[in-house]
Each structure stands twice: as structure tokens, then as C-alpha cells.
Structure 1
């Protein structure tokens, strides 16, 4: 069993010049590909179940799937709830065996975000697992706009919530289909100064060029980068290629199994982008 908590895999990143990929899972095939990619690269991986995934597959099934995959490899695997909407969802994930939860109170007023995050942090820590939270708001491409993280709020948030990792908004955006994001590096520096020992998280990693990912991993406290869109693009292309190669194929398992190798290669590239110069 190589199950790990978020703290287990992120704490070393503060000093070793690397970051860990939080890979967004939608089903068995991509979770398998991501786990195999981590094993091939010899790096930890964070398997993430977000709201879309949870709407399709029940939490107990996802928890069992992640834990089963962790048993198949030698590298650390974090079973992570991404964007937990409320206390009930996070508590359910803890009960099901997730080793990390993210509570997303980023749309709430600061005091309410702190209070709810602190409550969930207490639950997570009592269960021996980690918690990630979000301060500021990371927006969506062609959707709701971002609100940058206020560095002046970071120290208080970290102290009063006791979170193990903090997702921040510095120009990163969810669902970008091209790596064209521009980050506010002075804001990042101010956030890091306010909480120098707290691992930082960037959602919307598909919008970050590989060179920028290298820079962040080597020179900042960004220890976790969430990557989803570029991997979904790899899945979509692999699926189209598979069906084009054999239009008569109708076996669901055969069709989906063929997408695993291309997704594994895409995941390996994503993982390497956070640990190699």
C-alpha cells in the first residue's frame, strides 16, 4: 500500500525543487493511466475526484478505485477530493477513505471561508489526513472571472484554519485549452512571504507553459499543480483515433482500453514538467 496524504508528498517539495501533479480523474481508464505514469516516472501522484467526476461515480467507488490503484504501484498515491462544496461532502470523503480533501470556500466572505475551512480541517486532521483550501478565487476560461488572492489575508487564513496546502489565484485559470496564462509573480512572492512554510497550489495548470512549471517548481513554494484539461484533450484525441482506426468496433472495453497508453504518455509529460529542468 502506497497511499499517502497531501502533506506526505508536498512537504519535501518546499526544499527539493519539485512539485507534484494533481491529476484530474474522470474514470477508471485515466486513473489507471495516471498511476502507471507516476510509477514510470518514479514520482508521487495525486489522483483527484472533482465535482464532475463525483456526479458520475459515487464517492465510495472512487475511494476504493484510488486505493486499489495505490496498491498496484510503489510510488506514493494521494486519494484527493477536489473542490469539496461543503462540510458534508468532505466528511463523506473522509469516511470513504480519501487521504486528502480540498474544501473550496473561495466564493465566501473571508470570515466564513475561514470558519468553515477550520471546521473541516479539524475533521481531516482528526482522521489523520490532509486538507487543502482556496483563498481568492480561481476563475474559468470563458466563465466566471478570477479574484486574485490578497497576500494580506494569507497569514491569518493559514494560522486560523491550519490547512496543509493553500490554493491561490495569481493569474491561473481553470479549463484553459492553451498554455497561455500569465502569472502575477510579485503577488506570488508576497503570498509566499506571508506563509513561508505553507505549500501552495495552482489550479488550472493546463494553462501554464512547461517552462513556467519548471520555474515554479524550482524557485517557489508552489508544490502542487492541478492538471486536467490537457489530459482530457489527450483522451479525446485517443478516443477519436481509436474509433477512426476501427469504425466497426463496438466493444466499450476495447475502445476505452486503447485510450490508456496515450493518456499515460500525456500524464508522464505533465509529471516531468514539475520535476525536470
Structure 2
């Protein structure tokens, strides 16, 4: 069994000057490919079930799938609820055996975000589970505009909530399809100076790969959420498969053919952060 909590993989990353990939899953094929990639790179991995994935498939199914993969893996695997919308949702994930939850109170007023995040942290820690929170608001490409993280508010948030990891908004954007994000290094340095909590970059697909490598090695950013980049790789591989096998109709055959390309892309992501 190699189920791990977020703290169990991020604290060594913080001490060792590297980061761990939080890979956004949409189904069995990509989750299996991501664990295969982590094993090939001898690195831990964080499997993430986000709001879209949970709308598509019930949380108990995600739990069972993640835990089956973790229990058969040779590397630490974190099962992570990404962007939990309420304490109730986080409580369900904890009850189902998720080893990590994120409570996303980033749209709330600061005091409410702190109070609600702290309550989820206390619930998670009582069950031996890690908790990630977000301060500031990471925006979306072609969607809601981001609100940058204030270093003073980040220091207060970290101290008063007890989060195991803190997502920040420093130029990163969700769902970005190119690698054009500009990170505010001065703001990042100020946040690092104010707290010793491992930091998280959501929207990691939008960062130039060289910048991801640099941040992983030189800063307290210990977790990069990667989703869009991998979904694009999945889509490209599926289109290639359909073009090469126009008469194949079996779902298992089609989706299984996509896994090698997805594993290769995930290996490159993981390798960049080591």
C-alpha cells in the first residue's frame, strides 16, 4: 500500500528543493497513465478529482479508483479532492478515504475564508488527512479574472488556518492553453518570507516549462496542478488513434491506445519538477 497524504510528499519536496505534480484526472485511463508515469520516474504523484470530474462521475467511484491504483503502486500516491466547494463535500471525501482535500474559499471575504478553511483543516487533521487552502483568487483563461495574493494576508491565512499547503495567485491562470503566464517573482518572494507553508501553483499548464523547473528548484512552490496540458495530449492522441484506426469501434481499444502518449507526457511533467 502506498497511499500518502499531501504533507507526506510536500514536506520532503520543500526540504529537498523539488516539487510534486498534482495531475488532474478525468477517467480511469488518465489516472492509470499518471501512476505509470510516476512509477517510471520513481516519484510520488498526486491524483486530483476536480469539480468537473466529480460532476461526471460520483465521488465514491473516484475514491475507489484512486485507492486501487495507490494500493498497487510502488510510489507514494495522494488521492486529492481538488477545489472542494464546501465543508460537506470535504467531509464526504475524508469519509471515503481521500488522503488530501482542498477547501476553496478563495472567493470569500478574508475572515470567512480563514474561518471556513480552519474548520476543514481541523476536520481533516482529526482524520489524519492533509488540507490545502487558497488565498487570493486564481482566475481562468476566458473566464473570471484573478485576484493576486497579498503577502500579508497569506501570512495571516497560513498562521490562522494551519493548512498543509497554500495555493497562491501570482500570475498563474486556470485552463491556459499556451505557456505564456508571467509569474510575479517579487510577490512570490514576499509570500515565502512571510510563511514556511509549501506553496501551490494552480494553472501550471500555463507556465513555460523552464519556469516550472526553476520554480520547483529555487522556491517554496512544491506542488504544480497540471490539467489542461494533459487533456490536450489526450485529445491529440485520441484523434491520431481514430485517424489511424477508422474502423475500430471498441471503447477499450480506443482509449487504451491513448495511454502510452499520455504516460510519456506525464513523465515529462514529473521529470521537470524533480
TM-score, length basis structure 1: 0.98
Match of residue 194 from structure 1: 194
**Does 67-76 or 78-87 show the bigger shift?**
67-76
Report how many aligned residue pairs link the two structures: 274
Describe the superposition over 1:158-214 as per-residue Cα deviations: whole angstroms up to 9, x where unpaired. 11110000000000000011111000000000001110x210000000011111111
- Alignment correspondent of 2:232: 233
SS of the counterpart of 2:180?
Answer: coil
Aligned pairs for 1:152-231 within 5 A: 152-195=152-195, 197-231=196-230
For 2:236 and 2:69, locate their aligned partners in 1 and report how far apart those are by CA, in whole Å.
24
> 1:128 Cα shift?
0.2
In the aligned structure 2, how far is the partner of 1:212 from the partner of 1:246? Answer: 38
Greater Cα shift, 79-88 or 210-219: 210-219
Corresponding residue number in structure 1 for 2:67:
67
Deviations 1:114-160 (A, max 9, x none): 01000100110000010000000000011111100000111211111
Residue 45 of structure 1 aligns with which residue? 45
Aligned residue number for residue 271 of structure 1: 270
**Cα RMSD over matched residues?**
0.6
Cα distance in structure 2, aligned partners of 1:222 and 1:151: 15
The aligned residue for residue 96 of structure 2 is 96
1:72 and 1:233 map into 2 onto residues whose CA distance is 27
- After superposition, give the CA deviation of every residue in 1:68-111 in whole Å (9 maximum; x if it has no partner): 00122111000000000001110000001100000000000000
Please report how far the alpha carbon of residue 61 of structure 1 lies from its aligned counterpart in structure 2 after TM superposition. 0.8
Matched ranges for 1:14-53 at <5 A: 14-53=14-53
Distance in 2, matches of 1:164 and 1:73, equals 24
- TM-score under structure 2 normalisation? 0.99
Gaps of 5+ in 2: none
Contiguous gaps of at least 5 residues in structure 1: none
**Partner Cα separation in structure 1 for residue 131 and residue 265 of structure 2:** 27
Regions of 4+ moved over 6 Å:
none
Q: Which residue of 2 aligns with 1:139?
A: 139
SS of equivalent residue, structure 1 residue 34 = helix
Structure 2 SS opposite 1:12: helix
